[in-house]
Amino acid sequence: MATSASSKLNKAVKQQYMSLPQGEKVQAMYIWIDGSGEGLRCKTRTLDSEPKTIEDLPEWNFDGSSTYQSEGSNSDMYLIPAAMFRDPFRKDPNKLVLCEVLKYNRKPAETNLRYTCKKIMNMVENNHSWFGMEQEYTILGTDGHPFGWPSNGFPGPQGPYYCGVGADKAYGRDIVEAHYRACLYAGVQIYGSNAEVMPAQWEFQIGPCEGIDMGDHLWVARFILHRVCEDFGVVVSFDPKPIPGNWNGAGCHTNFSTKEMREDGGLKVIEESIEKLAKRHRYHIRAYDPKGGLDNARRLTGRHETSSIDEFSAGVANRGASIRIPRSVGQDKKGYFEDRRPSANCDPYAVTEALVRTCLLKEEGEEPANYSK
């Protein structure tokens, strides 16, 4: 198994230094999304005291020419603190700080999808939109080979791995457990985890989160997973189809409800929302992966518990549909629905914004409406 050289360093030696007192100073790790729309970057600064609110955190900057976000001749980009979490790696009082990125002219960077998402969420705050996102991922060696798979060949076919237990079924549980506990420490709204259908594939769920919090918590959970994998010397992949052939892909199923859907008779509101989504399938497919649907085309084939990328479908308890209404929701006549189309590498800000635009703002057509006028 190809692991990184850094994972072989003696962690006990590192702990000798990490246990040193740091006085009144605080380390704040600033985190942002780079120009790929998928990669995360980070750097640390020292603060003189522990920040209590987001307003206590200073703006910062970075070289955008090294993150696919600007030209070298005009490379400074601004980091605007947006959400703050406890740091599970350096521990209290240190912080993780999720940031928005602004360009030199103070306009949002192209991959700063939080900027518009927050405006849209503010427009519908009285609806109390709740989201839950099920993040699937695959653990790889540094050579790109799935963790625990034979070096020359494949493990046994899918079947025993989903929610499996045992060394021959669950590949990499140490990483999953470390990530779960780190998220709880950080204050991330993690809901659960399980082994997935393909060996070395896992899932964690974030939610329920209201409005903009959904994107904030999922991005920080992803960052923490990258860091945990770094310590173990392996790599996490959010590719929606990491292994071609007869293996399940990786999605980010998104559960959505409003106050009205959760109340008695809410099933009618859910069905009305699904009708709106049916008329806007292509818009949502474009919003549901960073490459405008090209990544999802490898996953949404109509096989391996997916719907076809070319067709919209909905059904109760149907995991092969675009939209699934859970059986309990069909029985209770209220609750939520699950959009099974978002890819594992989707931007949660784009996904949640698209759902709100179509279901609550009742937008139609191929392009999002512009409310800035």
pLDDT tens-digit series, residues 248-281: 999 999 999 999 999 999 999 999 999 999 999 9
Q: Please confirm whether the linkage preceding 208 is cis (ω < 30° from 0).
A: yes
pLDDT the model gives residue 319: 78
Residue 204: enclosing H or E segment and its boundaries?
A: strand 201-210
Residue 218: enclosing H or E segment and its boundaries?
A: helix 213-232
pLDDT tens string 170-201: 999 999 999 999 999 999 999 999 999 999 99
Output the furthest CA–CA distance in the chain (Å, rounded).
61
Residue 114: enclosing H or E segment and its boundaries?
A: helix 114-123
Sheet with 60-63: list strands edge to edge. 40-47, 26-33, 95-102, 76-86, 60-63
Confidence of residue 1 (pLDDT cuts 50, 70, 90): low
pLDDT the model gives residue 373: 60
266 neighbors 274 (Cβ within 8 angstroms): no
Asked if residue 300 has pLDDT above 90, the reply is yes
Give the Cβ contact number of residue 166 at 10 Å: 8
316 neighbors 325 (Cβ within 8 angstroms): yes
Spans of all domains in the chain: 22-111, 121-360
Stated pTM of the model: 0.97
Using CA atoms, how far apart are residues 277 and 256, in angstroms rounded to an integer? 12
pLDDT the model gives residue 150: 93
* Total number of residues shown for the chain: 373
- Look at residues 64, 2, 58 and name the one whose alpha carbon lies nearest to residue 30: 58
Q: What angle do CA 252, 205, 139 make, to 5 degrees?
A: 70
Q: 121-360 — its CATH code?
A: 3.30.590.10
Q: What are phi and psi of 27, to 5 degrees?
A: -95, 125
The percentage of residues in the chain with a pLDDT greater than 70, rounded to a whole number, is 99
pLDDT tens string 11-49: 899 999 999 999 999 999 999 999 999 999 999 999 999
31 neighbors 225 (Cβ within 8 angstroms): no
Using CA atoms, how far apart are residues 88 and 185, in angstroms rounded to an integer? 6
Q: Which two tokens stand for residue 259?
A: 């106050």
Q: Which burial class, exposed, middle or buried, applies to 233 when counting CB atoms under 10 A from its CB (0-12, 13-18, 19+)?
A: middle
Q: What is the mean pLDDT of the chain?
A: 95
pLDDT the model gives residue 74: 77
Q: Which two tokens stand for residue 356?
A: 């709100």
Mean pLDDT score, 203-210: 98
* Listed range (38-47, 85-94, 153-162, 312-321) with the worst mean pLDDT: 312-321
37-to-32, 211, 291 alpha-carbon distances in Å: 10, 20, 9
Asked if residue 247 has pLDDT above 80, the reply is yes
Architecture of domain 22-111: Roll (3.10)
Tell me whether domains 22-111 and 121-360 share a fold.
no
Q: Which two tokens stand for residue 166?
A: 């045992």
3-state SS, residue 241: coil
Which residue pairs from 163-169 have beta carbons closer than 8 angstroms and sit at least 24 positions apart in sequence? 163/194, 163/195, 164/195, 169/195, 169/199
Sign of CA dihedral 66, 44, 206, 159: positive
Give the Cβ contact number of residue 370 at 10 Å: 7
